């Protein structure tokens, strides 16, 4: 189990290195959260990324300045901000996910199709047990194959 975790951590780190100079680890995590939901409030981002609200706010300030996200008032609640990805933020998420898919695909190709299906099911359960969102969008971003 730990060997598999090391491989996944390595692949994840390598995918983030693919956007080095554009986004750091915290930014990539935040961008993936926003991407998976379409838009989020600052509080929702802080909760989903396990960040203190003030740290999430500073992170968003940086991402707005770097052109990765757009921040706007929520028309339903003017005291709340809504965060969405800019085309630059979408590019970062797409690059990271493409890199992860490209790295994982040859590994998964060594498994039979029934074992791959079983692995996806087990990993979905594992993610849910660990508190990761079970949104279908997360899997639609390329995590199923």
* pLDDT for 6 beyond 80: yes
Q: Do both 65 and 133 map to the same domain?
A: no
Mean pLDDT across 107-127: 93
Is 90 found in the same domain as 37? yes
- Give 141's DSSP letter: I
HEC per residue, 23-44: CCHHHHHHHHHHHHHCCEEHHH
Q: What is the signed CA dihedral for 127, 129, 133, 139, rounded to 10 degrees?
A: 30
- Calpha distance 38→61 (Å, rounded): 19
List % helix, strand, coil for the chain (3-state, nearest 5).
65, 10, 20
Residue 40, in any domain of the structure = yes
Give the model's pLDDT for residue 80. Answer: 87
Same-domain check for residues 86 and 133: no
Do 45 and 78 belong together in one domain?
A: yes
Residue 132 has pLDDT above 90, yes or no: no
Phi, psi torsion values for 69, nearest 5 degrees: -135, 160
Q: Please report whether residue 1 resides in a domain.
A: no
Please state the rounded mean pLDDT for residues 28-56.
Answer: 93
Predicted pLDDT at 82: 94
**88 in the same domain as 29:** yes
Per-residue model confidence (pLDDT) at position 100: 93
Q: How does the average pLDDT of the chain come out, rounded?
A: 88
Q: What's the pLDDT band for 31 if we cut at 50, 70, 90?
A: very high
User: For residue 114, is pLDDT > 80?
Assistant: yes
Indicate whether 31 and 77 sit together in one domain.
yes
pLDDT digits (tens, 9 = 90+) for 63-84: 999 999 999 988 888 888 899 9
**Residue 57's domain spans which residues?**
23-100
Range with the lowest mean pLDDT among 32-41, 43-52, 127-136? Answer: 127-136
| Rounded mean pLDDT, 124-129 | 88
Residues 41 and 91 reside in one and the same domain? yes
Judged against a pLDDT cut of 70, whether residue 133 lies above it is answered with no
What pLDDT was estimated at residue 81? 87
Q: Do 65 and 122 reside in the same domain of the chain?
A: no
């Amino acid at each position: 189990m730990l060997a598999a975790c090391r491989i996944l951590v390595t692949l994840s780190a390598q995918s983030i290195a693919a956007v080095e100079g554009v986004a750091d680890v915290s930014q990539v995590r935040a961008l993936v959260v926003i991407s998976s939901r379409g838009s989020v409030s600052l509080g929702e981002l802080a909760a989903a990324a396990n960040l203190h609200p003030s740290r999430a706010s500073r992170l968003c300030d940086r991402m707005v300045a770097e052109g990765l996200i757009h921040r706007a008032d929520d028309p339903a609640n003017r005291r709340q901000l809504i965060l969405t990805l800019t085309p630059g933020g979408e590019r970062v998420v797409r690059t990271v996910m493409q890199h992860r898919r490209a790295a994982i695909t040859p590994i998964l190709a060594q498994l039979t199709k029934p074992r791959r299906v079983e692995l996806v099911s087990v990993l979905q359960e594992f993610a849910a047990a660990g508190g990761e969102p079970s949104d279908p969008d997360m899997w639609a971003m390329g995590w199923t194959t």
